[in-house]
Structures are given as C-alpha cells and as structure tokens.
Structure 1
Amino acid sequence: MAVLAVLTDPFTTTFMMRALIGGVLVATMCAIVGTWVVTRGMAFLGEAMAHGVLPGVAIALLAGVPAVFGAAASAAIMSLGVSVVQRRWRLSADTSIGLLFVASLALGVVIISSSRTFASDATAILFGDILAIQSGQLLGIAAATVVTAALAFVWHRSFVALAVDPRQAHLLHLHPRAAHAALVGLVALAVVSAYQAVGSLLVLGMLLGPAVAAGRWTRRIPTTMALATCIGAVSVWLGLLISWYMATAAGATVALVAVFSGAVSALLRASVDAARAPTRSGRQAVKV
C-alpha cells in the first residue's frame, strides 16, 4: 500500500492530474507523428519546426495574445519558408532547413530580449510549464490529437508509399507532394500543441524518444504508433513522479525520460537478441 501511495498520491492534486492528462494527450499525438518522423528521417525538420515557433510565441507574449496563435502562425511560416527556399534558391532540404532553423532561433531570442521579463519569458517558451496547463488548454490539445489521428488515418497509404518510394507513389496517384506537405503540417501541429507542455526545445524528445523505443520491437506502422503511445504515456507519468519527489523541472524531466526510453529499449532489445542467439545456433547445428 505504501508503494501504491508513492505512485498515486501526487496525482490527487488537481494541477498534477491536469498535467498527466495533458501529457498523455501530447504523448499520443507525438507518437503518431513521431513514428512517421523517424520512418522518413525527418528529425532535423522536427527540430527546426520546434525552434521555428519561437518568434511567433515571443511576439504573442509581448502583444498579450494567446501564445498558441503565435506558435501556429510561426510554424506555418516556417513550413512555407522551407518549401520556398528549397525551390527558389535550389538548396538541399538540410541546408534550407538549417538556415531557417538558425534564423528563427535567433529572431526569437532577439524579440524576447526586448522584454523586461526576458528570463521568465525565455524559460516558459523554451522549456514549457506542464504543471500550468488549464482545462481550456486540455480541450485544445485533445482536439489537436483527434485531428492528428484523423489526418494520419486518411493519409496513411500516401505516407507509406512516400516512405517506400516517392516515384512509385506518384505512379500510383497517391500525391507524394501533397502527402509530404500534410506530414509537415502534422509535425507543425504536434509542435504547436506540445510546446505548452514541454517547451520548444524539448518537444523533439517527445516526438522521437517513444517512437524510437517502439521501433525496436515492431515493424508495422500502426503497431509502432500504439506502442509508442504507451511508452510516451508511461514517460509522462514517470517524469511527473520524478519531478514531484526530486523537485526538478517537470517538462524537462518528462522529455528526459522519453528520450531515455529509447536507450532502455535498445538495451533490452540487445539483451533479448543475445539471449536468443545461442538457441538459434543450437537449432542450426541440429539441422546440419
């Protein structure tokens, strides 16, 4: 009973329960999007998008406008900017993303530095405040999660074809360019919705950690998403517990646990494979 109390007592408080619910919703959304980010090798775009919301959020805070609107506008500009720079300047995807990534980060810091509360504003944007999530924000995150799941379902065939062979996707009339744009949009939606919980610098951990961890055990996309959702939810719960008892930053602790889950999964997978190796060798010897 004492152990059970340690695991559940922190969540008897309203703000911790809201943080848990919001975190699980974010974990679900990030698991869906993160699976495709890992499959397509779009981690750099995800990082750039996470930093791309900085200018919009900074302007919104200074103007007294809800930060989510500034984040959404900034993410949309970032998405459009990557496409324009690639086509007009004929640069590679990595180069164009890198340029806009640095520009957005620098612009965000410049804007924030003009505020009298520079330190507190910067901390809130970069690292989030999952313990400050309100009921209205929970509804917004829940709506974003439902939209993400619906769009991922609708575009599933196109995303799969795009991951396997873009040329084949074009021949099958699965609209690879539109599919890529939709995927970038989902990344932007996840970043905008999750930044309130874990901040712009740490949202990539929620996108990648659980998806990488799940990918060690599954091969099918839907199964990977489901397992990544479970791993992400456990990461949120465990991160909040650690934060509660060790008095650490909640959002950063959650993100750290999510990233750490990938390392733990890799070690467990290696252990399982090593344990199975002698058995397989024995079976092959018997067949010979």
Structure 2
Amino acid sequence: MEWLSDPFQVSFVRQALWAGILVSFLCALAGTWVVLRGMAFLGDAVSHALLPGVAIAALLGGSVPAGAAVSAAAMALGVTALGRSPRLSQDTGIGLLFAGMLALGVIVVSHSRSFAVDLTGYLFGDVLAVRAEDLLLIGAALALAALVSLLGHRAFTALTFDPRKAHTLGLRPGAAHAAMLGLITLAVVACFHVVGTMLVFGLLVAPPAAALLWARRVPAVMLGAALIGSAATAAGLLLSWHFGTAAGATITAVAVGAFFVSALARRVIGGAA
C-alpha cells in the first residue's frame, strides 16, 4: 500500500492531484458537448490558437493568461463568423484559423530564443508546480462553467440532437452555439497555464468519449467523464512518480488508455450479451 500512498504524502503531488481533479470536472462539462457534437477538432484548434496571445503577452511583459484569453476569444469569434458563410464548412473555417493563428504564434516565438522553455511549458505544462492561486482560478472557472452548463442545458441539448427543433422552440441555436464555444474556451484558457494544452485537450476528449460508451443521459456522461478524468489524474501521477515520466503526459496517456479499455470492455460485454 505504501507504493500507492507515498507519492501523495508530498505536498506538491497533492496539489497536482487537486488541480487534476478540478480540471477533470471542468473539462467534463465542456468536453461532453465537444464529443457529442463531434467538435474535437475545434477543441484542439482552440488549444493551439492560444499560442499567439501567449507569445505576444510574454514578449511585451504582459499577463500571459490575459493574452491567451484574447487569442482564444479571437478564435471563437472567427469560427462563429466563418460558420455563417454558406460556402464554407465549419471544419474548413476552423482549419483556416487554426493554421493561421498557429503560424502567427510560431513567427512571434521565432523572434526570441528565450521562448524555447516557455513554449514547452505551454504545450506540456507543469502540473507538479501548481500553486494555491492556480487552484482558486480553476475552481472559479469550474463554478462559472457549471452555471453556464446549468442555464444552457436545454438549449445545448436541443442544439446537439435536433437543431431544427431548437430553432422551432425559440432556443436561439446561434446563441447556444456561441455559448458552447465560450464554455470550451473557458476550459482551455483556465487550465492551459497549469497543465498545458496537451493535457487539457486529452481530458476534454478522452474521458467524455469513454463515459459515452456507458451512459446515454448528458448529466451521467458528464459525471462519468469527471470521475474517469480524476482517476486518470491519480493513476498518472502515481505512475509518473514511480517511473520518472512527465506527469502531464502520463496523465494524458492514462486518460486516452482508459477510453480504449472502456471500448474493449464494452465490446466484450456487448458480445457476451
């Protein structure tokens, strides 16, 4: 049992565990809609679209989270604007903005060699360096995401499963789509500087996808995703501690692995039935 408990006796590992649990619950709220609506590409694009805002803010000595928020907001507004064009599919608009903003970020980064370490932190984060104020920030974002999810649940559900009915019921699918984009953006911006964009994207997609194999009701999928993400965080930190691997990458690998184990179990149970 010491193999299981020893790592969590260390304060920074406990902090990382709490951060991962909060991120898991936040990503479950946003990621469920990402998976249900087939918006994984958008989640990845928003994660990487933060780069120009992060780079410019760091270059000018400003607030990196604020720069990331501006960049993410620009991405969300751009996706919404291009999505209104009848000649462009949503994926095309996302792809154009993704490539353009990523290229802009790399151009800014290339002007300063000092960004090398910062860029690594942007991609992979350092969940073991979480501070108390980081936990408060993620907690506040989680509370806001829970409020948006509660108020927008009916509109989000109608938009996901029957957009025409949403319009007929006066649920304003355009506004609901914008609010959903805002929810995804909130999750990414609130968490990237703590755990990196790779871990945010992994928890945004893998746990909800695993939970969706077993649950059909949206709240059940969200709860299952939060629990799977939290378990992946604990297991990833444990493996990282004992095998000396990168904590964020290990948590992401465990979360993705949980999906494949879940899919295999579902197939076996389905075949046996």
Deviation at 1:53, TM superposition (A): 0.7
Aligned pairs (5 A) from 1:31-70: 31-70=28-67
2:208 equivalent to 1:211: yes
Tell me if structure 1 keeps the 8 A contact 2:232–2:251: yes
In structure 2, the partner of 1:195 is: 192
Following the alignment from structure 1 to structure 2, what is the Cα–Cα distance between the partners of residues 76 and 13? 37
- TM-score between the two structures when normalised by the length of structure 1: 0.91
Deviation at 1:239, TM superposition (A): 0.8
In structure 2, the partner of 1:27 is: 24
Following the alignment from structure 1 to structure 2, what is the Cα–Cα distance between the partners of residues 208 and 191? 12
In structure 1, the partner of 2:254 is: 257
Tell me if structure 1 keeps the 8 A contact 2:28–2:208: yes
Following the alignment from structure 2 to structure 1, what is the Cα–Cα distance between the partners of residues 118 and 225? 31
Residues 162-213 of structure 1: per-residue CA shift (max 9 Å, x gap): 0111111011011111100000000000111121233123422110100011
Residue from 15, 18, 22 that aligns with 1:18: 15
Deviation at 1:89, TM superposition (A): 8.3
Residue from 235, 239, 244 that aligns with 1:247: 244
Following the alignment from structure 1 to structure 2, what is the Cα–Cα distance between the partners of residues 60 and 193? 16
Deviates more, 1:153-162 or 1:190-199: 190-199
Q: Give RMSD over aligned pairs.
A: 1.3
Residue from 214, 221, 225 that aligns with 2:218: 221
One-letter code aligned to 1:80: L
In structure 2, the partner of 1:152 is: 149
Tell me if structure 1 keeps the 8 A contact 2:109–2:115: yes
2:172 equivalent to 1:175: yes
Tell me if structure 1 keeps the 8 A contact 2:52–2:105: yes
C-alpha spacing 1:261/1:137, structure 2 compared with 1 (3 Å): same
In structure 2, the partner of 1:109 is: 106
Deviation at 1:60, TM superposition (A): 1.9
Tell me if structure 1 keeps the 8 A contact 2:80–2:178: no
Following the alignment from structure 1 to structure 2, what is the Cα–Cα distance between the partners of residues 89 and 35? 27
SS of the aligned residue for 2:113 comes to: coil
2:221 equivalent to 1:186: no
Deviation at 1:87, TM superposition (A): 3.4
Residues 125-165 of structure 1: per-residue CA shift (max 9 Å, x gap): 11111111111111000000111011101100001110111
Tell me if structure 2 keeps the 8 A contact 1:50–1:191: yes
Unaligned ranges ≥5, structure 1: 277-288
SS of the aligned residue for 2:245 comes to: coil
One-letter code aligned to 2:129: A
Q: How many corresponding residue pairs?
A: 273
Following the alignment from structure 2 to structure 1, what is the Cα–Cα distance between the partners of residues 197 and 235? 21
In structure 2, the partner of 1:236 is: 233
2:25 equivalent to 1:7: no
Following the alignment from structure 2 to structure 1, what is the Cα–Cα distance between the partners of residues 206 and 110? 31
Unaligned ranges ≥5, structure 2: none
Following the alignment from structure 2 to structure 1, what is the Cα–Cα distance between the partners of residues 82 and 151? 29
C-alpha spacing 1:268/1:88, structure 2 compared with 1 (3 Å): closer
- TM-score between the two structures when normalised by the length of structure 2: 0.96
One-letter code aligned to 2:2: A
Tell me if structure 2 keeps the 8 A contact 1:130–1:196: no
Residue from 68, 75, 86 that aligns with 1:71: 68
Deviation at 1:11, TM superposition (A): 1.4
Following the alignment from structure 1 to structure 2, what is the Cα–Cα distance between the partners of residues 88 and 215? 32
One-letter code aligned to 2:192: Y
